[in-house]
């Protein structure tokens, strides 16, 4: 069944009757395409719904590129003031930037312009959502383990670039909402110690908002970041090809093979089809559901604001972080340190993102595991990692909710003050509770798996014995299912030998090792193990009855 064992050199004349078409031959003689593609054509890809998340990101990005190019044909990234006289009558005669005026033009006077703006914006939201969920999938299944740490870092960078790109794009139309976002960004930059004022002056070309920022942002948005994203996505995909996709445990699947369907035709058809499904969904959204109606916000002016306005969802966590922070500010030696801005907008996200980026290396240091891993973990079988992940999501979630505290307050008739205090407590308590609950749940699920393996699956059929005793009939699992449920290592905590050797000399790196042992203990002390011996015992027991 092994599909592609690529042929080496054969006997002369053996391949004489292989027909090639002239175009491919022409290309082959110049590029060596047969050599290059022989192992690719039938490359095997494992299939699972969770492997589609990255594809959603990829396909929505393609749509972003296409719709973005369309928008550049009319968008005018200039902060020069003009008086508007287009088809949107409520703003007739209003003075505004050319960026805003041209976005109105795209929305009302260019046919399909509104559609493409909405496609672009919906695709952007889906893109970032997909990247994040994809990243969580990688995290919870341990797909970041060796040899895929580099791809984890590439993916992480892509996520950060996606956030920046989204914020940049969202700021381009220069409407009241996006200008307010930039105003906040400029305030955040000003809070950076020592260089903040200079950075802000250099970025904005002087005072906020100045005349330079939108043209600069435009170049960053349509050239710099997209080029980086395209480059990194390419590297990301090449690595997926070279390292081959991970797969779930199951009968016939080992750490040394890949089981799935071939690139040509099945995977190509499915992935290609899926791409068009994503396109279809985004176009339907763009046709049916209005997004970012910039005409309703009006042009940006620094002395105006609309209450209850919200940024795009992926900026929400920063917004919430800023909102819940107590107003700490220090004045030392004639200098101002705005912890009220610095901590929530730069330090907290910095820590969150750094932790995310280094997780694979941290985990590897704790486990000391330097083997390659191609079989995915079920989240329940790695309770501590899973609990960390859920704790992190909870942290992010509380920040995000706090970003909508005014909306929550008005909707549920609560005071913003009480809500803010709730969030201030929850930001510490929430992740801890989530961590603890997740770990319990994961261990519970492990126990259930063990039960299933040892006693079989509940059938729902109730048997009455002659003595009148009711028992539920348990149907033993198939060998394949039993294997699927147990085919994972149970990692034990690191055990330390004596701290000194026979000569009483302390072992090198003792401190780090002790720390590692502690971390390992925390990570692996709880687990549920299913052994063949237990199974055999129970089997033997059944035999007696």
Among 46, 142, 166, 179, binds ligand HEM (CB under 6 A): 166
Specify the stretch interacting with ligand HEM by CB under 6 A; choose among 59-67, 349-357, 389-397, 404-412: 59-67
Specify the stretch interacting with ligand HEM by CB under 6 A; choose among 22-30, 192-200, 222-230, 333-341: 222-230
The tokens for 75 are 């968008």
> Taking CB under 6 A as the rule, which mask of x and - marks residues 251-290 in contact with ligand HEM?
----------------------------------------
Residue 236 found at the interface with ligand HEM (CB under 6 A): no
Nearest to ligand HEM by Cβ — which residue? 169
Distance of CA 326 to the CA centre of its chain: 30
211 contacts which partner out of ligand HEM, other proteins, none, CB within 5 to 8 A by kind?
other proteins
Q: Which is nearer to ligand HEM, 69 or 269 (CB)?
A: 69
Contact 100, 152 (CB under 8 A): no
Parallel, antiparallel or unpaired: strands 44-45 and 81-83: unpaired
**What is the Cα–Cα distance from 222 to 169, expressed in whole angstroms?**
9
Residue 61 found at the interface with ligand HEM (CB under 6 A): yes
Residue 215 found at the interface with ligand HEM (CB under 6 A): no
Parallel, antiparallel or unpaired: strands 81-83 and 95-97: antiparallel
Residue 169 found at the interface with ligand HEM (CB under 6 A): yes
- Mapped onto helix, strand or coil, the DSSP state of residue 456 is coil
Least Å from the CB of residue 471 to ligand HEM: 58
Q: Which is nearer to other proteins, 20 or 197 (CB)?
A: 197
Residue 65 found at the interface with ligand HEM (CB under 6 A): yes
Radius of gyration, alpha carbons of the chain? 29
| Ramachandran assignment for 456, one of left (phi > 0), alpha (psi -120 to 50 degrees), beta (any other) | left
Phi, psi of 6 (to 5 degrees): -70, 135
Least Å from the CB of residue 405 to other proteins: 7
Q: How many CA atoms lie within 13 A of 221 on its CB side?
A: 24
CA angle 53, 59, 62 (to 5 degrees): 150
Residue 54 found at the interface with ligand HEM (CB under 6 A): no
> Taking CB under 6 A as the rule, which mask of x and - marks residues 103-142 in contact with ligand HEM?
x--x----------x--xx--x--x---------------
Task: Determine whether 384 is exposed, middle or buried from the number of CB atoms within 10 Å of its CB (0-12, 13-18, 19+).
Answer: buried
How many binding residues for ligand HEM (CB under 6 A)?
27
The enclosing H or E element of 472 equals strand 470-475
Contact 131, 162 (CB under 8 A): yes
Residue ranges in 170-189 that form contacts with ligand HEM under rule CB under 6 A:
170, 172-173
Residue 348 found at the interface with ligand HEM (CB under 6 A): no
- Mapped onto helix, strand or coil, the DSSP state of residue 421 is helix
**Which residues would be at the binding site for ligand HEM (CB under 6 A)?**
61, 64-65, 68-69, 71-72, 75, 103, 106, 117, 120-121, 124, 127, 162, 165-166, 169-170, 172-173, 221-222, 226, 229, 292
């Amino acid at each position: 069944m092994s599909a592609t064992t690529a042929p080496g050199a054969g006997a002369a004349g053996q391949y004489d009757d292989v027909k090639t078409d002239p175009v491919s031959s022409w290309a082959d003689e110049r590029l060596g395409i047969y050599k290059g593609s022989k192992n690719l054509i039938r490359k095997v890809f494992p299939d699972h719904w969770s492997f589609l998340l990255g594809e959603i990101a990829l396909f929505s990005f393609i749509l972003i590129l296409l719709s973005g190019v369309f928008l550049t044909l009319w968008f005018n990234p200039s902060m020069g003031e003009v008086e508007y006289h287009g088809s949107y009558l409520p703003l007739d005669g209003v003075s505004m930037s050319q960026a805003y005026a041209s976005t109105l033009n795209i929305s009302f006077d260019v046919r399909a312009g509104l559609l493409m703006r909405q496609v672009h914006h919906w695709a952007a939201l889906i893109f970032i959502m997909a990247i994040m969920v994809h990243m969580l999938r990688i995290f919870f299944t341990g797909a970041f383990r060796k040899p895929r740490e580099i791809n984890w870092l590439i993916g992480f960078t892509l996520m950060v670039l996606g956030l920046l790109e989204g914020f940049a794009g969202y700021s381009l139309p220069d409407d009241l909402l996006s200008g307010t976002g930039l105003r906040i960004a400029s305030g955040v930059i000003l809070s950076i110690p020592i260089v903040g004022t200079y950075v802000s002056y250099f970025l904005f070309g002087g005072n906020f908002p100045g005349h330079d920022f939108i043209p600069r942002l435009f170049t960053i948005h349509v050239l710099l970041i997209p080029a980086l994203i395209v480059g990194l996505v390419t590297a990301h995909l090449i690595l997926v090809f070279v390292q081959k996709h991970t797969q779930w445990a199951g009968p016939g699947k080992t750490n040394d093979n890949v089981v799935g369907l071939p690139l040509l035709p099945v995977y190509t058809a499915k992935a290609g089809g899926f791409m068009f499904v994503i396109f279809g969904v985004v176009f339907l959204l763009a046709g049916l559901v209005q997004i970012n109606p910039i005409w309703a916000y009006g042009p940006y002016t620094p002395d105006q604001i609309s209450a209850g306005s919200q940024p795009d969802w992926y900026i929400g966590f920063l917004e919430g972080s800023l909102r819940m922070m107590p107003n700490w500010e220090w004045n030392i030696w004639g200098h101002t340190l705005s912890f009220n801005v610095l901590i929530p907008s730069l330090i907290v996200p910095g820590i969150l993102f750094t932790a995310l980026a280094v997780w694979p290396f941290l985990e590897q240091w704790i486990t000391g595991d330097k083997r390659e891993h191609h079989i995915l973990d079920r989240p329940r079988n790695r309770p501590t990692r899973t609990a960390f992940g859920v704790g992190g999501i909870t942290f992010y979630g509380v920040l995000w909710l706090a970003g909508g505290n005014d909306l929550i307050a008005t909707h549920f008739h609560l005071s913003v003050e009480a809500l803010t205090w709730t969030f201030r407590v929850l930001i510490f308590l929430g992740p801890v509770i989530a961590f603890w609950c997740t770990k319990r749940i994961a261990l519970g699920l492990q126990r259930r798996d063990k039960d299933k393996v040892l006693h079989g699956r509940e059938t729902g059929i109730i048997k009455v014995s002659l003595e009148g005793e009711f028992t539920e009939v348990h149907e033993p699992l198939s060998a394949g299912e039993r294997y699927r449920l147990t085919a994972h290592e149970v990692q034990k905590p690191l055990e330390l030998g004596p701290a000194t050797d026979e000569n009483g000399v302390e072992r090198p790196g003792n401190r780090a090792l002790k720390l590692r042992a502690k971390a390992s203990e925390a990570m692996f002390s709880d687990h549920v193990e299913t052994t063949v011996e237990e199974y055999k015992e129970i089997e033997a027991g059944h035999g007696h009855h």
